[in-house]
Structures are given as structure tokens and as C-alpha cells.
Amino acid sequence: MTAQIIDGLATAKRIKSGIAEHAADMKIRQGGIVPGLAVVLVGDDPASQVYVRNKNRSCEEVGFRSYSHTLPSSTTELDLLGLITELNANPQINGILIQLPLPDHINEHTIINAIDPIKDVDGFHPVNVGRHMTGLMSLTPCTPTGCMILLNEVTQDLGGKKALVVGRSNIVGKPMALMLLQANCTVTIAHSRTQDLAEECRQADILVAALGRPNFIKGEWIKEGALVIDVGINRITDPETGKNKLAGDVEFSAACERAAAITPVPGGVGPMTIACLMQNTLQATMMQNGWGW
Ligand code: NDP
């Protein structure tokens, strides 16, 4: 079997174009409302700087306002909390995103908890996590939301399928497992203490790899006909060219021989994460303007 390549770039483009139309319509019909996203970066991590630039660029593409706050790595927790209080109170700001990871002296949970849940476009606040878990309307984490959209591109019928999520982080693995459960899959979560990962993979009709280890999931572990979503973004040195390149968590070429469909890295889940951030910012704007939740 040669796998269908699930094109995250094309899907993300289509979603962003729909968001742009919706935003333009909202501006005309609803008294000039323009969604505003504040992106806060603390420190000078180069990868984070790239992510922040991409988020700002996407805001422009869909017609949102973006507000960048770049703070030095010496910023105190109190200073950051002060900024979040201002952003919570600012009616121009509909979404607040704090780029992770934060410097070690700042407690991530304290910061996430300080964001007004209705502006929490990352979907990390415990109120959103709890609402999501109990099936209430919520802002949901962008990466797993994007993964679900990609799965729905290739099948409408996830019900009863065996799904394996490798990784149990709060931002990817756990919400991903919940979304697959809500789509009626039978879900297993694997992690670093899992006894026989290869065997777990062999049983999975749907495999989501989010462990952050390049090419860790071997092609031969993939069940024939499985749907494979590779969340991993790992920077490696290409042994042939000696240049840096991105690799996923799944051994791509070998997996293509067995999977029915698979996402590439890059060009799979990555673009969907940003598209879903735009989607969440639009949703947050609508909720703040009378849609309720
Ligand atoms: P974390 O480091 O927070 O979590 C990694 C998870 O993988 C942990 O639960 C860990 O288990 C598990 N794990 C690590 N090693 C193994 C192993 N050998 N076998 C089984 N499980 C293992 O990572 P994130 O969830 O934040 O990110 C995962 C990957 O996804 C990274 O490559 C990241 O760059 C990428 N990513 C991509 C995004 C995108 O937009 N495409 C967005 C966010 C992340 P344990 O809990 O036991 O330690």
C-alpha cells in the first residue's frame, strides 16, 4: 500500500480563507468588529520567535489585528501577570496567547490560570480543559483540533476504530485522546513508560505520534491501512547533506508503505495548528460579542 499524503498546507489554506471571509463579513455586519490576537513572547528563543512571526503573519492573512509583546527573559512573573491583566481588560484583544515555553523562573500554570478563559485561544486554561472534558462548548487546543480536521479529511467514520496516541502532554497528547474518544474511538494513550510501544502501534487503526523523538515510530510497527498523524517537529541534521531539516516522530518513507494515509513533516499538522489558532480567535471574538457559551 502506498499512503495518501494528507496535505495540511492545503487544508490550512482553505480553513484560513473561510475565516477571512467570515471576519470580513463580521466587520461589515457587526459594527466594525475586527478580531484581535495578542501574542506574548518572553525571552529570545529562536524557534519561538519563528512561531510568533508566523502567527502574526496569519493574523494579517485573515484580516485580524495582531498585537506583539516581546519581553526580555528577565521579565518577572509579576510583570507578566500585570500584562495579562491589561490584555484581559482590553476590549480590542479577543485572544491572548503566551508563547511556551516560558523561562524557568515563571510558573506556566500561574500564567495560564491568569488568562481570562474566554480569551484563552490556546485552550489551556483549566476552565476550558474542564468544559472540553465534560462536552461543553469551549476553546480547544489548536494542535489536536487540527489533527482531528486532518483525520476528517480522509474519513468520516472514526467510530469504533482503535486509536493510539503516543504522548500525554497537556497541550497535545491528552486533549488529542479526548477528541478521539469524543469521536467514538477506542483510545489508548502511550507514554515513556509504555511496555511495548511497537505492539500498541501494530493494533492501531489510527495512530497519532506526539512524542518529540525523530523517526522513533518505525514503519514496520504501523498497522496495514492505518491513518497516521505525525505531530512531531524535530530539527535534525540530514545525514546525506549535513544540513538541518525537520523530521517527524514517524519513519515517514517506511510508514508510507503500510499506512492508508499519513501527514508529512513539514506540511502536515504544523500549518493546521496556526489555522486552528485563527479559528479559536474568531470563535473567542464571537463569544465575547454575544454568542455566549
Ligand atoms: P512533551 O515533551 O511535552 O511530551 C512528550 C510525550 O511523549 C510525553 O508524554 C512522553 O512521555 C512521551 N514520550 C517521550 N518519549 C517516549 C517514548 N520513547 N515512548 C513513548 N512515549 C514517549 O511534547 P509535546 O506534547 O509538547 O510535543 C510533542 C511533539 O509534537 C514535539 O516534537 C513537538 O515539537 C511537536 N509539536 C508540534 C506541534 C505542531 O504544531 N505540529 C505543536 C506542539 C508540539 P512521559 O509523559 O512519560 O514523559
Interior angle at CA 161, CA 158 and CA 167, nearest 5:
95
Taking residue 169's Cβ as centre, other Cβ atoms within 10 Å add up to 16
For residue range 64-84, what is the model confidence (pLDDT) as tens digits?
999 999 999 999 999 999 999
Give catalytic status of residue 288 as yes or no: no
User: In this model, does residue 274 exceed pLDDT 80?
Assistant: yes
Cell of 194: 509504555
Tell me whether strands 234-237 and 244-247 are parallel, antiparallel or unpaired: antiparallel
Residue 21 confidence (pLDDT): 97
Give catalytic status of residue 122 as yes or no: yes
User: In this model, does residue 201 exceed pLDDT 90?
Assistant: yes
Which residue ranges form the domains of the chain, and what is each CATH number? Answer: 32-117 (3.40.50.10860), 142-270 (3.40.50.720)
Q: Collapsing DSSP states into helix, strand and coil, what is residue 17? A: helix
Closest listed residue to residue 151, CA positions, set 179, 119, 191, 111: 179
Residue identifier of the C-alpha nearest atom 40 of ligand 1: 270
| CA dist list (Å): 71 to 68, 75, 151, 228, 291 | 10, 6, 37, 38, 33
For residue range 5-53, what is the model confidence (pLDDT) as tens digits?
999 999 999 999 999 999 999 999 888 999 999 999 999 999 899 999 9
- CA pair distance 119, 293, nearest whole angstrom: 12
Give catalytic status of residue 195 as yes or no: no
Of the chain, the percentage scoring pLDDT greater than 90 comes to 96
Distance 140 CA to ligand 1 centre (A): 18
**What is the residue-averaged pLDDT of the chain?**
97
Which atom from ligand 1 is nearest to the alpha carbon of 194? 20
User: From the CA atom positions of the chain, what is the Rg in Å?
Assistant: 19
- CA pair distance 211, 221, nearest whole angstrom: 16
- How confident is the model over 129-142, as a mean pLDDT? 97
- How confident is the model over 125-152, as a mean pLDDT? 98
Our mutation pick for probing the ligand 1 site, out of 169, 201, 207, 246, counting the most ligand atoms within 8 A of Cβ, is 169
| pTM for this entry | 0.97
Distance 21 CA to ligand 1 centre (A): 34
- Which of 16, 119, 120, 122 is labelled catalytic? 122
* Ligand 1 site residues, Cβ closer than 6 angstroms: 143, 166-169, 171-173, 190-194, 197, 210-213, 231-234, 269-270, 273
Which atom from ligand 1 is nearest to the alpha carbon of 191? 21
- CA pair distance 97, 122, nearest whole angstrom: 6
Interior angle at CA 166, CA 163 and CA 168, nearest 5:
110
- Give the single-character DSSP code of 83: H
- How confident is the model over 236-244, as a mean pLDDT? 93
Residue 292 confidence (pLDDT): 54
Strand partners, 162: 186
Distance 169 CA to ligand 1 centre (A): 6
Which atom from ligand 1 is nearest to the alpha carbon of 168? 9
Which atom from ligand 1 is nearest to the alpha carbon of 213? 32
